[in-house]
Amino acid sequence: MWVNPEVRRLGVATRLVASVMEWAQRGRASAVELWVTHGNTPALSLYRGFGFVETGARQPLPSDPTKEEFQMIYWLPPPEVGKNK
Give pLDDT, residue 79. Answer: 73
Give pLDDT, residue 80. Answer: 73
22 assigned to some structural domain: no
65 assigned to some structural domain: yes
- CA 24 to each of CA 13, 28, 55: distance values in angstroms, whole numbers, following the listed order: 16, 6, 19
24 assigned to some structural domain: no
Structural domains of the chain, count: 1
Contact criterion met (CB below 8 Å) for 51 and 74: yes
Contact criterion met (CB below 8 Å) for 30 and 75: yes
17 assigned to some structural domain: no
Give pLDDT, residue 1. Answer: 86
Give pLDDT, residue 84. Answer: 58
Give pLDDT, residue 29. Answer: 94
71 assigned to some structural domain: yes
Low-confidence ranges of the chain (pLDDT < 70): 81-85
pLDDT digits (tens, 9 = 90+) for 20-42: 999 999 999 999 999 999 999 99
18 assigned to some structural domain: no
